[in-house]
Amino acid sequence: MSDDKQAIEQALEQWQEKKVEPVLGKHPERRPAFKTSSAIELQRLYTPLDEGGRSYLEDIGFPGQYPFTRGVQPTMYRGRFWTMRQYAGFGSAAETNERFRYLLEQGQTGLSVAFDLPTQMGYDPDHPLSQGEVGKVGVSVASLEDMRQLFAGIPLDQVSTSMTINATAAILLAMYIAVAEEQGVAAGKLRGTIQNDVLKEYVARGAYIFPPRPSLRLTTDIFSYCREQLPAFNTISISGYHIREAGATAAQEVAFTLANGIAYVQAALEAGLQVDKFAGRLSFFFGCHNNFLEEVAKFRAARRLWAGIMRERFGASNERSCALRFHTQTCGVTLIAQQHENNVVRVALQALAAVLGGTQSLHTNSRDEALSLPSAESVRIALRTQQIIAHESGVADTVDPLGGSWAIESLTDAIAAEARKLIAKIDELGGAVRAVEEGFMQRAIADSSYDYQRQVESGEQIIVGLNKFTIDEQPQVEILKVPEELARQAAERLQQLKAGRDAARAQRALEQVSRAAAGSDNLMPPILEAVRAGCTTGEISDALRRVFGEYREN
């Protein structure tokens, strides 16, 4: 037996002893034997044992072990499927609650909340800048009463909830905690994720309020608070999705996302937190495009890189701290209005790539999202896409089934190498915050976006139904619209709220938020008290604005 083969077999034997003891929880395999339709039994893992072949063992290791190239769990989906977490939110809290209930009835396994722009930007529905935007791209949540309606009849100790909110993340998390208290659910039992990734807002989206450095303080205050009070809650979802949607390449998405992750870890360390005390609650969020093999390789490369960053740069000793766990959303920017039914195929390909890449949770976009908010039927098809992949395709029956493919391993290496170069460049500039302030990441994304658009317009990049294989036909689709009177109704509810609350208590709470912002105390406790006192999203944001100011891009 060759030395390489013997080493691989010994390592495999050691790994198999950890069959149901993964780094991130205990998930025994779903059934005793996994077989194909031809009754061929599938091994849990396939390894490179051929004589004379290149051994990738050092680079990719085994699932559930450093550097996690092959996944963060030894059993992966044989133990438990990814969380099927459909993103939803529109109109009023009551309307979105109906959609949540519908999705749960259809077999969704986690909630994911989309908030409207006023909520994201810290404005109440009656603010002049909210005009025309209330409830349009997400649900309007201006008060604790709205949050109550959003989760009415949904036991918060029985669901995992992801909230896509950044600049106002502390406020919305406080409202979620307060609603759980009213349900009799202790904060320690809450599971889910708060996106809380404001750096990518400066890079790709623009939904920021405060300058980067006070924004980072809010982020790390959430880290610190949740470490003690919400130990099962993921304190951040470091997002590459929006970076990719803005036009970044796959390698840029990995590099810029991990560079932002480095900045958050560094900020937490500077705030006095110990790396192995908080790093295990960090999570990531990536998009998935149509280039199937590249996307699978991208996820594997990201895991490998982050493991090395945490161990080598930050000295993490707990393997949990080195394991990159991530949510995936199929990319909305890839969906087109023309022949929109073809988007079902695009979403299925992207979802399959995410699963083969080892995602921990997944949102599948709806076929009509290039035209309107998704209808209930379209959302159901999107969810069924995940369920078919999970239960019918067989790809979840073995761990990292594409691992060892020459194409996949080569692409994984190439993406990792390109991402390392970009991270090194950001380090030279002084880190992610400095790179944002100097516009480095923004310019790189803009250049990539321009190149891609040029390729589409020239026909070099074929988009079926857009620049090739077109038909002259108007889409027939149900258009889901948010009524304009929603803003008026929301403003009336705010007036009633303010008239009925203890005005003196609310004012004291807002003053305490401003005092804490001017000092160094953790901001979560005063924000939570302000929420309990009936203060609104806009009022609490204004209390922070008075101290932090607002960021204006040069």
Identify the CATH number of the domain in which residue 362 sits: 3.20.20.240
Residue 216 located in a structural domain? yes
Residue 16 located in a structural domain? no
Domain limits at 219? 91-394+402-458
Q: Which of 84-93, 170-179, 314-323 has the lowest mean pLDDT?
A: 84-93
The upper half-sphere exposure of residue 221, i.e. CA atoms within 13 Å in the direction of its Cβ, equals 25
When divided into structural domains, the chain yields a total of: 1
Average pLDDT of 371-393?
93
Using CB atoms within 10 A of its CB, is residue 293 exposed (0-12), middle (13-18) or buried (19+)? Answer: middle
Answer for the pair 542, 121: CB distance below 8 angstroms, yes or no. Answer: no
Residue 109 located in a structural domain? yes
Answer for the pair 63, 71: CB distance below 8 angstroms, yes or no. Answer: yes
Q: Which tokens hold the place of 263? A: 């900045």
Residue 105 located in a structural domain? yes
Residue 530 located in a structural domain? no
Q: Mean pLDDT, the chain, as a whole number?
A: 91
- pLDDT tens sequence across 536-553: 999 999 999 999 999 987
Answer for the pair 207, 297: CB distance below 8 angstroms, yes or no. Answer: no
Average pLDDT of 135-151?
95
φ and ψ of 246, to 5 deg: -75, -10
Residue 161 located in a structural domain? yes
String of b and e for 456-480 (b: at least 16 CB within 10 Å)? eeeeeeebebebeeeeeeeeebeee
Average pLDDT of 95-107?
93
Average pLDDT of 44-62?
61
pLDDT at 484: 82
The span from the CA of 268 to the CA of 35, in Å, is 46
Residue 487 located in a structural domain? no
Closest CA relative to residue 376, chosen from 155, 99, 158: 99
pLDDT at 399: 93
- pLDDT tens sequence across 60-84: 788 999 999 999 999 999 999 999 9
Q: Which pTM does this prediction carry?
A: 0.89
Strand order in the sheet with 236-239: 233-234, 191-194, 160-164, 110-114, 83-88, 361-363, 326-330, 282-288, 236-239
Residue 534 located in a structural domain? no
- pLDDT tens sequence across 9-37: 776 676 666 544 555 556 777 777 777 65
pLDDT at 26: 63
* pLDDT: which is higher, 523 or 40: 523
Closest CA relative to residue 397, chosen from 148, 91, 89, 29: 29
- pLDDT tens sequence across 451-508: 999 999 999 899 999 999 999 887 777 777 778 888 899 999 999 999 999 999 999 9
The span from the CA of 31 to the CA of 467, in Å, is 46
